[in-house]
Amino acid sequence: MPPLKCRVIGNNILQGGIRELVLALTPEAPSFFPGQYLMLDVGDAAFPFSIANAPNQKTLALHIKPTPDSSDSDKIEHFLNSNPTSASIQYPLGDCCLKDLPDHPLILIAASTGITQMKSMLDWLIEKKFTHPIHLYWGVLTPEELYLQHELEAATAEHQVNYTPVVSQETDLWQGRTGLVSEAVTADIAQLNAFKIFVSGSPAMVYGTLDHFVGNGFQPEKMQSDVFSYAPRPQ
């Protein structure tokens, strides 16, 4: 896949130090499916980022979280701080996406900036007037990491989506759900097999969620995640 050069039209800091990089798609750029990702070329390396917006907007939005003590993160931050006018990407990538409107209810589960993949799917489902139930769960360490909280609260309230943020570290600053996001799901929903489930997070988070669900009678083939492709478990 040849790289695609895009003009940078946004490079802003969001809540919690999250960076939003917005790229303008050229007219000849291929379309993408909600939930897909791209590789951002930085120097001689390339890094994966989920696309945070739905298709058909002529832009690609990326949400980039700095990682302490990471040379890769430092390289990306140096690139972003240089105020680039263009960026080279490899796109679109990933099979964990929505190619058609599903005919069943959905559970979307994200950890940290994994919310971008789920936001792309959610925005598209809302745009297409999806009629089945949607449950969106967002797991973070601290309340400060809920950088899309107001946006998601507004969107999900208007469109009757069940949105549940879950903070794993207990704090007096947060009065909502706490603990593991996977446990919040099973506490709320008894019949997991009635849903198609999409999960975005680290391999440890995704496989931990899968194991917890399977322990509650879930059929694993009903779950999708990019982790299953890039970090498969040994057979």
- How do residues 191-211 score in pLDDT, each as one tens digit? 999 999 999 999 999 999 999
State pLDDT tens for residues 154-200. Answer: 999 999 899 999 999 988 989 999 999 999 999 999 999 999 999 99
Give the pLDDT of residue 57: 87
CA distances from 79 to 25, 39, 75, 119, 173 (A): 20, 14, 6, 25, 34
* pLDDT value of position 56: 84
Q: Is 34 left (phi over 0), alpha (psi -120 to 50) or beta?
A: beta
Geometric angle at alpha carbon 139, from 119 and 133, rounded to 5°: 50
Q: What is the pLDDT of residues 17-73, one digit of tens each?
A: 999 999 999 998 999 999 999 999 999 999 999 999 999 889 999 999 999 999 999
Q: What is the pLDDT of residues 119-144, one digit of tens each?
A: 999 999 999 999 999 999 999 999 99
Total Cβ atoms within 10 A of residue 168: 15
Question: For residue 44, what pLDDT is reported?
Answer: 94
Pair of tokens at residue 62? 């990326």
Mean of the pLDDT values across residues 67-85?
96
Predicted TM-score (pTM) of the model is 0.96
pLDDT of residue 117: 98
Which has the closest alpha carbon to 6: 20, 21, 26? 26
> Which tokens hold the place of 155?
């969107």
pLDDT of 234 reads 80
Burial string for 59-95 (b: 16+ CB within 10 Å, else e) reads bbbbbbbeeeeeeeeeebbebbeeeeeebebbbbbbe
Q: Which residues contact 101 (CB under 8 A, 6 or more apart)?
A: 125, 128, 130
Tokens 């496989």 -> residue: 207
Domains of the chain: 4-93 (2.40.30.10), 106-230 (3.40.50.80)
Write down the mean pLDDT value for the chain.
Answer: 96
User: Does residue 181 contact residue 173 with C-beta atoms inside 8 Å?
Assistant: no
Residue 213: alpha-carbon gap to chain centroid: 20
Angle between the N-to-C axes of helices 149-158 and 115-127, in degrees from 0 to 180, rounded to the nearest 10: 30
- Give me the pLDDT at residue 66, please: 95
Predicted local confidence at residue 160, as pLDDT: 87
Give residue 29's pLDDT. 92
The whole-number pLDDT of residue 174 equals 95
